[in-house]
């Protein structure tokens, strides 16, 4: 039976220092130091591998071990199926008992088995070398305590930019092959050959593909509403470049290109620096520079905001702008005070007089600027996780300034205010009645859900099962929601290419890595988003009541209340995909 199963050529490897030269210098991976307790090879298990190097297929949900033992892949046909216009991935494993100084992969065109004239050009393939990261098992922990969480080393980084990698003896090295099936591809069976060269020793495997008659909608016409919040200043800090400089935007382009290709709909902006403003920064780094003049008047400088929004739009992200800061977690409102020549702030609840005076001026100036750029209709004011008492006062105030302001809200579901919230993203355990969802769709409103720090699974931590990221979109389809939100796409720590541990659960605060590196979690999330589009088309176009019923029965199983540790989300996804093949 043909399933949309993605395989990766997982070349099993360990290297003490692996250096890959990228566009902006050298990037070092897997600099773990002395971590024998989590990285030491089990020589009794390696002894069971008869050949020095073995290549085998693994499924995309398999967590390939770093060094402990050879990967438990299969020497079987490597088969995937796809709709026209869909992405598919393959995974294999190379387990090596000797050091490999240069490991590189090449792929032929995918040639039609049925008609030799038809081909899918090899240029539609991207080869990604997968790297391991240090993480901790802190899934479901929102406030980390002062004790040592279990350390783990897991594969997550996917480097699609390098032409080769290396491997130490007794190690595992994953390789991800991503194929973008052109929308005009003829249905039928295709086959390609993948060649893995290990210091000149050649290994070949066949990749098989079945292209079905289904066709994915163009990216701009897809229905899934993806909202992954961006942190351009966190990227500037990581790269050690001046915020909003040409170099900053050049580096941002690597990550934003990936985000756009995933189907992102929203540009994350801020009235100050970023969503949370955890530290006071220079005024010139503000996305919108707020100035209180010596004459006690307010000025607003939108140059950084305009450049950021325009940059995102040139990458195809232009459905919505969300601006955060009107009610931040710390209730601090920043500005540059000319009389003191410093950045300062005041703090007040949303019903305070100073608050209302400050924001009335700010919102009117912001509205005028947005209208001058033609952006007012797509802009929303972002509010994150507030109680109903605060929301009532805040929304009433915003609408008193201009009832045309749109609001985006993340948090609990409050039926009392849902008709005032244009874009409502609810916590995963919140239920929105079907009749409300349908009413919101009719009005052109958006309803999504999000996961954050507290859901142990399914989620998108480094420790999460890779299939969890795919499962989330099936859950959105089951709940009749428009999509999914995550609060952080690129909120990196300084050593994230090696060590993902921080005050957050590993991976909670990012989905991709610096220098244009993807992740297994991000690719699996994209996988689920494409499934969502197929589900939508199937529900609209099912020709038989039986087919409709079968799909709806499968969808009903994607419920957070039915999830447990003994039930494989990967197998659940694979079985549900059978309904999309018929």
Report how far residue 581's alpha carbon sits from residue 2's, in angstroms, rounded to the nearest whole number: 8
* pLDDT tens-place string over residues 345-403: 999 999 999 999 999 999 999 999 999 999 999 999 999 999 999 999 999 999 999 99
> What is the pLDDT at residue 76?
60
The average pLDDT across 247-263 equals 98
pLDDT at 25 over 50: no
Mean pLDDT computed over every residue of the chain? 92
> What is the pLDDT at residue 77?
65
pLDDT at 18 over 50: no
For the whole prediction, is pTM greater than 0.85? yes
Q: Which range, of 10-14, 79-83, 564-568, averages the lowest pLDDT?
A: 10-14
> What is the pLDDT at residue 543?
67
* pLDDT tens-place string over residues 106-148: 999 999 998 777 899 999 999 999 999 999 999 999 988 777 8
pLDDT at 544 over 90: no
pLDDT at 66 over 70: yes
Q: Per the structure block, which two tokens stand in for 241?
A: 């470049």
204 versus 1: the higher-pLDDT residue is: 204
Report how far residue 475's alpha carbon sits from residue 450's, in angstroms, rounded to the nearest whole number: 11
> What is the pLDDT at residue 582?
67
Beta strands in 307-443 (DSSP E): 320-324, 332-337, 342-347, 379-384, 406-411, 423-427
Residues in the chain: 582
* pLDDT tens-place string over residues 75-92: 666 999 999 999 999 999
The average pLDDT across 6-11 equals 34
Report how far residue 362's alpha carbon sits from residue 65's, in angstroms, rounded to the nearest whole number: 53
Residue with tokens 């998108």: 460
> Phi/psi of residue 284, each to 5°?
-65, -15
Report how far residue 268's alpha carbon sits from residue 276's, in angstroms, rounded to the nearest whole number: 12
- Percent of the chain topping pLDDT 90: 86
pLDDT at 13 over 80: no
Quick one: pLDDT band at residue 11, thresholds 50, 70, 90?
very low
């Amino acid at each position: 039976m043909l399933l949309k199963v993605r395989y990766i050529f997982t070349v099993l490897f360990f290297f003490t220092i692996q250096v890959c030269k990228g566009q902006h210098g050298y990037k070092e991976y897997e600099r773990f130091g002395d971590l024998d307790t989590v990285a030491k090879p089990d020589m009794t298990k390696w002894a069971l591998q008869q050949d020095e190097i073995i290549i085998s297929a693994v499924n995309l949900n398999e967590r390939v071990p770093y060094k402990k033992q050879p990967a438990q892949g299969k020497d079987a046909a490597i088969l995937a199926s796809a709709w026209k216009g869909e992405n598919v991935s393959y995974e294999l494993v190379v387990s090596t008992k000797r050091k490999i100084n240069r490991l590189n992969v090449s792929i032929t065109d995918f040639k039609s088995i049925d008609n030799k004239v038809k081909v899918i050009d090899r240029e539609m393939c991207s080869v990604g070398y997968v790297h391991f990261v240090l993480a901790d098992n802190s899934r479901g922990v929102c406030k980390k305590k002062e004790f040592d969480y279990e350390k783990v080393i897991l594969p997550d980084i996917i480097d699609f930019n390098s032409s080769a990698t290396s491997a130490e003896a007794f190690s595992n090295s994953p390789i991800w092959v991503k194929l973008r099936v052109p929308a005009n591809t003829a249905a039928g069976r295709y086959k390609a050959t993948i060649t893995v060269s290990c210091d000149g020793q050649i290994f070949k495997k066949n990749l098989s593909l079945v292209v079905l008659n289904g066709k994915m909608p163009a990216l701009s016409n897809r229905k899934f509403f993806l909202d992954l919040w961006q942190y351009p200043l966190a990227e500037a800090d990581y790269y050690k470049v001046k915020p909003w400089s040409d170099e900053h935007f050049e580096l941002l382009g690597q990550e934003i290109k990936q985000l756009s290709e995933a189907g992102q709909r929203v540009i994350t902006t801020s009235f100050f620096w970023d969503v949370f403003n955890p530290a006071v920064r220079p005024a010139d780094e503000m996305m919108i520079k707020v100035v209180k003049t010596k004459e006690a008047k307010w000025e607003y400088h939108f140059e950084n905001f305009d450049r950021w929004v325009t940059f995102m739009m040139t990458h195809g992200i232009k459905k919505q702008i969300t601006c955060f800061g009107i009610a931040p977690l710390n209730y601090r409102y920043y500005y540059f005070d000319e009389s003191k020549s410093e950045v300062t702030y005041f703090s007040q609840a949303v019903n305070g007089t100073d608050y209302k005076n400050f924001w009335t001026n700010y919102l009117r100036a912001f509205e005028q600027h947005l209208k001058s750029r033609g952006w007012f209709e797509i802009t929303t004011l972002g509010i994150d996780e507030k109680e109903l008492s605060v929301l009532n006062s805040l929304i009433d105030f915003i609408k008193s300034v201009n009832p045309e302001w749109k609001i985006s809200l993340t948090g609990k579901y409050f039926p009392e205010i849902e008709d005032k919230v244009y874009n409502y993203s609810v916590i995963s355990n919140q239920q929105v009645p079907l009749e409300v969802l349908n009413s919101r769709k009719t009005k052109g409103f958006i309803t999504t859900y999000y996961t954050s720090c507290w859901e142990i699974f399914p989620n998108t931590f480094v420790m999460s099962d890779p299939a969890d990221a795919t499962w989330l979109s099936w859950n959105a389809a089951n709940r009749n929601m428009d999509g999914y939100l995550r609060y952080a796409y690129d909120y990196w720590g300084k050593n994230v290419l090696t060590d993902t541990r921080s005050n957050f659960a590993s991976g909670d605060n990012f989905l991709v890595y610096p220098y244009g590196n993807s992740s297994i979690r991000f690719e699996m999330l994209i996988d689920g988003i494409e499934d969502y589009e197929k589900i939508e088309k199937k529900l609209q176009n099912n020709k038989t009541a039986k087919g409709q019923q079968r799909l709806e029965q499968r969808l009903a199983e994607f419920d957070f209340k039915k999830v447990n540790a003994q039930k494989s989300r990967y197998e659940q996804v694979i079985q549900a995909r059978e309904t999309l093949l018929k």
